[in-house]
Amino acid sequence: MALKSRYVGATTVINTSANQHLILGGITLTKFKFMNKADCTIVVNDSDQLCIFANQGYESKLGEIIYLFKVVTAGVDVTWNGRT
């Protein structure tokens, strides 16, 4: 039996707290898109902290698996969505 994908994500704009994890419950995503309204710092999987500019966002590449996505910066309005 083939596994079915499902889409997950924010149902509204999230105003982040410091070190806020966006992917919860041990899920992994095969597609992921994040949008930020202000400059912020993020961590993707086991990466170092990455600084991204307002409205730059982040999108996973083909074949990339995302299992951890954390917004380090507090007070940033963000949205995200992904596919399992």
CA separation for the pair 17, 73 (Å, rounded): 7
| pLDDT at position 26 over 90 | no
DSSP letters, 26-66, are: T--BSEEEEEESS-EEEEETTPPPEEE-TTT-EEPPTT--B
12 domain-assigned: no
The domain containing residue 51 runs over which residues? 30-84
- Report yes or no on 3 lying in a domain: no
Please check the confidence at residue 78 and state whether its pLDDT lies above 60: yes
pTM, to two decimals: 0.90
Residue 18, pLDDT score: 98
Average pLDDT value for residue range 58-71: 96
Residue 63 has a CB neighbour count (10 Å cut-off) of 6
User: Does residue 71 fall inside a structural domain?
Assistant: yes
> Is 75 inside any structural domain?
yes
The answer to the question of residue 40 being in a domain is: yes
The reported pLDDT for the residue numbered 2 is: 57
Q: What is the pLDDT of residue 12?
A: 97
